[in-house]
């Protein structure tokens, strides 16, 4: 028995030694939708990280000259939020780039596979109706 793959189908042999990949068009559509939701969440998180980096007051006593460590701590938080090495804003941007690349790949598969597989094209057409 073959194991399901990550895009809703299962690989099987063709008898010629070459594997086949059975792809469920709904799975492609669901993956694209999920990637769109993830991209929106990543953009929101980037916006929040940028806003944290721009906060002028953190409420940690950073304005009190006697609390030098509070001021240093706030600077570390600002840099980690946005603008410093390994900051959250940049890391989230990298995840967003990967998410968009995956969406491009899914779109390519959805476009090219029907040209190769007429049965897939028929099932994909049923989703649109």
Per residue in 78-87, pLDDT (tens digit) is: 999 998 889 9
Query: Is 89 part of any domain?
Result: yes
Query: Is 59 part of any domain?
Result: yes
Query: Is 7 part of any domain?
Result: no
Domain hosting residue 110, numbered range: 30-115
The pLDDT tens digits of the residues spanning 2-16 come to: 454 445 554 555 556
What is the CA 102 to chain-centroid distance, rounded?
8
Query: Is 19 part of any domain?
Result: no
User: Cα–Cα distance between 118 and 12 in angstroms, integer?
Assistant: 18
Query: Is 104 part of any domain?
Result: yes
The pLDDT tens digits of the residues spanning 24-44 come to: 888 999 999 999 999 999 999
pLDDT at 2: 47
Query: Is 124 part of any domain?
Result: no
pLDDT band at 23 (very low <50, low <70, confident <90, very high): confident
User: Cα–Cα distance between 79 and 42 in angstroms, integer?
Assistant: 19
Taking a C-beta distance cutoff of 8 angstroms, is the pair 69, 43 a contact? Answer: no
Count the domains in the chain: 1
pLDDT at 16: 61
Query: Is 22 part of any domain?
Result: no
pLDDT at 1: 43
Q: How many CB atoms lie within 10 A of CB 27?
A: 16
Q: Which two tokens stand for residue 9?
A: 């189908």
What is the CA 53 to chain-centroid distance, rounded?
23
* Closest to 124 (Cα-Cα) out of 104, 105, 110, 108: 110
Question: Higher model confidence: residue 128 or residue 24?
Answer: 24
Query: Is 126 part of any domain?
Result: no
Predicted model pTM: 0.71
The pLDDT tens digits of the residues spanning 55-73 come to: 989 999 999 999 989 999 9
């Amino acid at each position: 028995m073959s194991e399901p793959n990550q895009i809703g189908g299962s690989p099987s042999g063709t008898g010629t030694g070459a594997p086949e990949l059975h792809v469920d068009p709904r799975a492609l559509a669901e993956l694209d939708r999920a990637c769109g939701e993830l991209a929106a969440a990543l953009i929101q998180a980037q916006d929040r990280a940028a806003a944290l980096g721009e906060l002028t007051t953190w409420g940690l006593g950073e304005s009190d000259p006697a609390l030098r460590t509070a001021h240093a701590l706030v600077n570390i938080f600002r840099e980690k939020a946005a603008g410093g090495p390994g900051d959250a804003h940049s890391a989230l941007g990298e995840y967003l780039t990967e998410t968009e690349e995956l969406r491009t790949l899914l779109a390519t598969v959805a476009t090219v596979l029907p040209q190769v597989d007429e049965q897939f094209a028929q099932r994909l057409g049923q989703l649109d109706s």
